[in-house]
């Protein structure tokens, strides 16, 4: 078992070592698919053009925390910058796996001179975390799968009679348990209080049991749009940007159910134990890639809300199709009406326990 | 190595001092030259031995060690660990324990290691992470006596279960991960009890891995035996063609073959389409043949079949057809001749095939992961799951892997006792 992280680390080393002689390189870990694409277009390509730095993408963000843990433990850190969820970043920070970041020292000011700590949206900055985007996870469906009206609410998702067919859910307890409770009648603002109790957990799993036989599970963000397109599933949870990408770039007949969307922050961390030259390069990259214009640029390729306040007015239309981005943003007011804010603190405390129970529930 | 008392060597009793020309006893001189030979032979295999040790022995030893190594609390809360040793576990600890905790937190904040201890404790008591981290963050505003300050900051510091856990976790070596791997745990009083039913999964998975591997082995025998027999008895031209049909899939990538089964078996797949087309099932009643146990068994039987056929074939090839004819001419029926003469002769091949298929099957990962859905996955998939994700538990994964390894070794030992590995013919 020890060999796997070692091998991974070794294979990650090979390209880095082979190319080190030719110039500076950065290994950037992200989520793959349309999301990495938007980063390549908005951050990586302009940066490489400007500095000649070569950037390697690894699509490992789904297992980023475990990856950083094993690299730090083995004393062989090969990742330079890692894209991570805010909750995972907080845990990595507590465990001393990622560097503390002096935001005002490392990052660019807004065009009108506001310090980064002022410019990023309140509550998104973490001691080790530079936010990039606000994104939503919510249900979406293929309109061709239903003859009449499509599902509109969370209750409809659970209604197998009115809307028969397979559901695709993410293979994690996070969000699924919250939605199960809300569908079962718990008020959104009380969800986390209920989920702290044993009875509340039983209730959430019982609600998931109702649809378990009609559920297939996904683990990578690129899967749900594919599953919907193949009609392997008729309703799926997904990241809103992925559905947007399928709607706009691939003309898929998908519809987003914004009811009780859960929004979260995603951003950069830097694993510890970087050598000095690498660290300079990383700082330079982050200064460039998180400035106001770059964050706004990313929103030209994918419908995620930029984490800087000064970027919001610069968000305009989709680069290739000219679609107005604003109504597709998870932060636009009509999409936010019933939104549930994801509680990172709760999941930092109860994540281990609930994940264990979730995995046992799946296998039983 | 030749034995020292080889034939021709005169026994000691009769001739005590047989010496070489320079006066050393022959025995000594012989042993010396043999030792030299042995050493040379060892040097030849040394690189391989070294390689195996580094790539195989060492990682396994590491893995086994990891499954019992539990340094978080002892290393990251050293003073607390020392102070709590004398605590009697029946009331909230005294000031010395709280003061030690405060000093550990101070250091842990500077080194940024306090979160590692907190994460370990949080695995057992959800919420303990924010208790420890929250108090640690406010530490610079607190003053001695820390017992009061902590209790005032959060009443959960009076939780006896928390302190009992700390005391238990100060042990550097722990069986806790093995307990988890077998669905047991420590309760608040430190006794070993079964985990609540909703968390139980590993025993089920070990059991499922075992019976499904047995089923796969059985299917491989049922399908492979006749094919091997055909291969061994048909005329060369036909049997060569048949052999290619066996080997071609064997040479094809595992992933390709698994994906081919997905294409065939899925609900919108070829077999279901045929069933619907021929009106055996209607369009809404498509059979679910994949992403469950059936999928795993079908795909793995196909993938492991060559490992059964090839050793059987190599043994059957050596059985002269005249044996069967002799048995028939001596009055045995076809059936008796087969069970009394032919079958026993194929046993070394059959046993080799069973051993190969079964041991390969219980460690299988990719195929169950792709076609097993949730109900058809094996223990190896849970080992992988414990290595990934947000709450990766590498130590639990190590414990599970060690149990699997030991189970395989025990099986091999039992097999050796029953049949004798030296009698096996692998092809």
Is A358 in the same domain as A222?
Answer: yes
Is A21 in the same domain as A148?
Answer: no
Q: What would the two tokens of residue B244 be? A: 């290619």
pLDDT at B38 over 70: yes
Asked if B119's CB is within 8 angstroms of A95's CB, the reply is yes
Is A13 in the same domain as A129?
Answer: yes
Asked if B204's CB is within 8 angstroms of A364's CB, the reply is yes
Say how far residue A344 (Cα) sits from the centre of its chain.
13
Domains of chain B: 1-10+19-64 (no CATH), 72-174 (no CATH), 203-423 (1.10.3720.10)
Instruction: Find the mean pLDDT for residues B32-56.
Output: 92
Is A140 in the same domain as A128?
Answer: no
| Paired strand residues for A27 | A56
pLDDT at B2 over 70: no
Residue B15: which pLDDT band, with cuts at 50, 70 and 90? low
Structure-derived torsion over alpha carbons of residues B372, B373, B379, B383, reported in degrees to the nearest 10: 120
Cis peptide before B408 (omega within 30 of 0): no
Element (H, E) at A81: strand A81-85
pLDDT at B4 over 60: no
pLDDT at B390: 67
Asked if A96's CB is within 8 angstroms of B389's CB, the reply is no
Specify the CATH number for the domain of residue A21.
3.40.190.10
Q: Both ends of chain B: CA-CA distance in Å?
A: 27
- Region for B187 from its dihedrals, namely left if φ exceeds 0, alpha if ψ lies in -120 to 50, beta otherwise: beta
Structure-derived torsion over alpha carbons of residues B329, B332, B335, B336, reported in degrees to the nearest 10: -130
Count of CB contacts below 8 A, A vs B? Answer: 112
CA count, 13 A, side-chain hemisphere, A51: 18
Distance CA B65, CA B57 (A): 12
Distance CA A214, CA A209 (A): 10
pLDDT at A147: 87
pLDDT one-digit tens code per residue, A242-260: 999 999 999 999 999 999 9
Cβ-Cβ contacts under 8 Å, B401 against chain A: 1
Residue B96: which pLDDT band, with cuts at 50, 70 and 90? very high
Is A200 in the same domain as A243?
Answer: yes
pLDDT at B33: 87
Is A239 in the same domain as A144?
Answer: yes
- Minimal CA separation from A255 to chain B, in Å: 23
Distance CA A264, CA A279 (A): 28
Element (H, E) at B141: none
Instruction: Find the mean pLDDT for residues B322-341.
Output: 92
The dihedral through the CA atoms of B112, B118, B123, B127 has a sign that is negative
pLDDT one-digit tens code per residue, B332-348: 999 999 999 999 999 98
pLDDT at B427: 60
Is A180 in the same domain as A167?
Answer: yes
Q: Could you tell me which chain A residue has the CA closest to the CA of B379?
A: A363
pLDDT at B393: 83
Query: Percent of chain A, pLDDT > 70?
Result: 94
Is A212 in the same domain as A253?
Answer: yes
pLDDT one-digit tens code per residue, B106-151: 999 998 889 889 989 998 899 999 999 999 989 988 888 999 999 9
Cβ-Cβ contacts under 8 Å, B198 against chain A: 202, 205, 357, 360-361
Asked if B198's CB is within 8 angstroms of A360's CB, the reply is yes
pLDDT one-digit tens code per residue, A111-148: 999 999 999 998 889 999 999 999 999 999 999 999 88
Is A69 in the same domain as A118?
Answer: yes
pLDDT at B7 over 60: no
Query: Percent of chain B, pLDDT > 90?
Result: 66
pLDDT at A203 over 50: yes
Asked if B198's CB is within 8 angstroms of A357's CB, the reply is yes
Domain interval for residue A160: 135-264+336-363
Is A258 in the same domain as A278?
Answer: no
- Total count of domains within chain A: 2
Is A249 in the same domain as A278?
Answer: no
Contact yes or no for A50/A79 (Cβ under 8 A) = no
Q: Which of B60, B112, B207 to mutate against chain A (most A CBs within 10 Å)?
A: B112
pLDDT at B329 over 50: yes
Instruction: Find the mean pLDDT for residues B75-93.
Output: 91
Instruction: Find the mean pLDDT for residues A51-73.
Output: 91
pLDDT at B18 over 70: yes
Distance CA B287, CA B365 (A): 25
Cβ-Cβ contacts under 8 Å, A357 against chain B: 198-199
Residue B19: which pLDDT band, with cuts at 50, 70 and 90? confident
Is A235 in the same domain as A310?
Answer: no
Residue A63: which pLDDT band, with cuts at 50, 70 and 90? confident
Instruction: Find the mean pLDDT for residues B206-220.
Output: 97
Asked if B127's CB is within 8 angstroms of A350's CB, the reply is yes
ipTM at complex level = 0.79
Cβ-Cβ contacts under 8 Å, B205 against chain A: 363
Asked if A360's CB is within 8 angstroms of B115's CB, the reply is no
Cβ-Cβ contacts under 8 Å, A172 against chain B: 389-390
pLDDT at A11 over 60: no
Q: Which of A6, A94, A356 sits opposite B199 (nearest CB)?
A: A356
pLDDT at A46: 96
Asked if B62's CB is within 8 angstroms of A2's CB, the reply is yes
pLDDT one-digit tens code per residue, A289-346: 999 999 999 999 999 999 999 998 888 889 888 889 988 999 888 898 899 989 988 9
pLDDT one-digit tens code per residue, A12-49: 444 444 444 346 899 999 999 889 999 999 999 999 99
- Minimal CA separation from B192 to chain A, in Å: 19
């Amino acid at each position: 078992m020890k060999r796997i992280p070692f091998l991974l680390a070794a294979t990650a080393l090979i390209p880095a070592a082979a190319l080190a002689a030719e110039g500076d390189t950065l290994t950037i870990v992200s989520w793959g698919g349309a999301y990495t694409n938007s980063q390549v277009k908005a951050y990586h390509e302009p940066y490489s053009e400007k500095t000649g730095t070569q950037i390697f993408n690894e699509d490992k963000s789904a297992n980023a925390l475990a990856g950083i843990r094993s690299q730090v433990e083995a004393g062989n850190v090969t990742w330079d910058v890692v894209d991570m969820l805010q909750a995972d970043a907080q845990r990595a920070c507590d465990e001393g796996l990622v560097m503390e970041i002096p935001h005002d020292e490392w990052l660019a000011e807004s065009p009108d001179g506001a310090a980064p700590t002022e410019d990023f949206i309140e509550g998104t900055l973490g001691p080790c975390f530079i936010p990039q985007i606000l994104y939503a996870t919510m249900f979406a469906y293929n309109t061709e799968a239903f003859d009449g009206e499509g599902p509109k609410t969370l209750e409809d998702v659970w209604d197998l009679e009115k809307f028969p067919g397979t559901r695709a859910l993410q293979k994690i307890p996070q969000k699924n348990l919250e939605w199960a409770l809300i569908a079962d009648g718990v008020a959104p603002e009380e969800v986390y209080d209920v989920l702290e109790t044993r009875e509340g957990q039983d209730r959430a799993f019982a609600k998931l049991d109702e649809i378990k036989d009609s559920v297939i599970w996904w683990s990578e963000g690129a899967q749900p749009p594919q599953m919907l397109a193949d009609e392997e599933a008729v309703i799926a949870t997904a990241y809103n940007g992925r559905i947007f990408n399928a709607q706009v770039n691939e003309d898929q007949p998908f519809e987003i159910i914004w009811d009780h969307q859960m929004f979260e922050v995603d951003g950069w961390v830097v694993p510890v134990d970087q050598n000095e030259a690498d660290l300079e390069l990383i700082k330079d990259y982050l200064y460039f890639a998180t400035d106001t214009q770059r964050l706004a640029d990313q929103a030209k390729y994918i419908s995620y809300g930029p984490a800087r306040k000064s970027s919001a007015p610069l968000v305009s239309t989709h680069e290739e199709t000219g679609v107005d981005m604003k109504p597709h943003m998870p932060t636009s007011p009509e999409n936010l009406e019933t939104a549930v804010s994801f509680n990172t603190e709760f999941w930092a405390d109860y994540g281990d326990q609930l994940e264990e129970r979730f995995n046992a529930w799946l296998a039983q | 190595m030749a034995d020292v008392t080889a034939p021709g060597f005169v026994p000691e009793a009769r001739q005590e001092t047989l010496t070489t020309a320079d006066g050393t006893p022959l025995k000594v001189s012989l042993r010396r030259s043999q030792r030299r030979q042995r050493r040379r032979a060892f040097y030849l295999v040394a690189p391989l031995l070294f390689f195996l040790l580094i790539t195989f022995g060492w990682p396994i030893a590491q893995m086994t060690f990891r499954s019992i190594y539990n340094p978080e609390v002892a290393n990251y809360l050293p003073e607390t660990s020392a102070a709590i040793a004398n605590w009697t576990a029946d009331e909230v600890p005294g000031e010395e324990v709280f003061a030690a905790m405060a000093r550990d937190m101070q250091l842990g904040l500077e080194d940024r290691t306090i979160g590692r201890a907190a994460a370990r404790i949080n695995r057992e008591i959800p919420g303990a992470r924010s208790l420890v981290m929250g108090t640690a963050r406010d530490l610079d505003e607190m003053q001695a006596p820390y017992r009061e300050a902590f209790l005032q900051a959060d009443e959960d510091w009076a939780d006896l279960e928390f302190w009992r856990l700390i005391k238990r976790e100060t042990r550097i070596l722990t069986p806790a991960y093995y307990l988890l791997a077998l669905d047991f745990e420590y309760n608040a009083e430190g006794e070993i009890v079964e985990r609540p039913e909703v968390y139980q999964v590993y025993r089920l998975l070990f059991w499922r891995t075992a019976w499904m591997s047995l089923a796969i082995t059985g299917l491989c025998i049922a399908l492979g035996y006749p094919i091997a027999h055909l291969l061994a008895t048909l005329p060369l031209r036909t049997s060569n063609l048949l052999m290619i049909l066996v080997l071609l899939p064997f040479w094809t990538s595992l992933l390709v073959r698994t994906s081919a089964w997905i294409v065939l078996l899925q609900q919108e797949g070829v077999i279901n389409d045929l069933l619907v087309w021929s009106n055996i099932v209607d369009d809404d009643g498509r059979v679910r043949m994949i992403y469950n146990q059936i999928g795993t068994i079908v795909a793995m039987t196909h993938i492991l079949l060559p490992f059964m056929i090839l050793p059987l074939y190599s043994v059957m090839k050596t059985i002269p057809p005249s044996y069967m004819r002799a048995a028939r001419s001596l009055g045995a029926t076809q059936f008796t001749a087969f069970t009394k003469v032919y079958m026993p002769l194929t046993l070394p091949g059959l046993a080799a095939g069973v051993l190969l298929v079964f041991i390969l099957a219980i460690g299988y990962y990719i195929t169950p992961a792709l076609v097993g859905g949730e109900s058809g996955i094996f223990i190896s998939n849970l080992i992988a799951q414990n290595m990934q994700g947000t709450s990766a538990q590498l130590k639990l994964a190590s414990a599970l892997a060690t149990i699997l390894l030991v189970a395989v070794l025990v099986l091999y030992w039992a097999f050796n006792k029953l049949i004798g590995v030296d009698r096996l013919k692998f092809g």
